[in-house]
């Protein structure tokens, strides 16, 4: 599972942040820094500060909020492939995962 998917699941409260750290293969401390940077700076916080290297693929914050809301209200429990397809076909939202 990609880091982006892990973080999306943790943000949507489908998994705990401790589980997210284990799945992502990082320490709980590293995941707490990732979470802190996200909560403080939004998706910009998911960039390393030296050289602005991307930690994960960037999605505009407004799009991310819409995706989180749709997942929590209409598609809770849907697998990520089906959810991505519904985003494209029903809502016109294209989120690249690769």
CA distances from 11 to 34, 36, 63, 64 (A): 12, 12, 14, 11
Q: What is the pLDDT of residue 98?
A: 46
Q: Report domain extents, the chain.
A: 3-46, 61-91
Per-residue pLDDT of 11-39, as tens digits, reads 888 888 888 888 877 888 888 888 888 77
Q: What is the pLDDT of residue 61?
A: 67
Q: What is the pLDDT of residue 89?
A: 92
Outline where the chain has alpha helix (H). Answer: 3-11, 17-24, 28-41, 61-73, 80-91
Enumerate residue ranges in the chain where pLDDT < 70. Answer: 1, 43-61, 95-98
CA 37 to chain centre: 13
């Amino acid at each position: 599972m990609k880091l982006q998917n892990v973080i999306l699941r943790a943000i949507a409260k489908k998994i705990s942040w401790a589980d997210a750290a284990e799945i992502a293969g990082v320490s709980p401390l590293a995941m707490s820094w990732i979470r802190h940077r996200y909560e403080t700076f939004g998706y910009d916080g998911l960039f390393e500060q030296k050289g602005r290297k991307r930690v994960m693929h960037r999605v505009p914050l407004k799009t991310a909020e819409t995706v989180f809301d749709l997942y929590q209200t209409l598609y809770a429990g849907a697998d990520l492939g089906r959810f991505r397809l519904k985003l494209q076909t029903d809502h016109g939202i294209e989120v690249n995962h690769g």
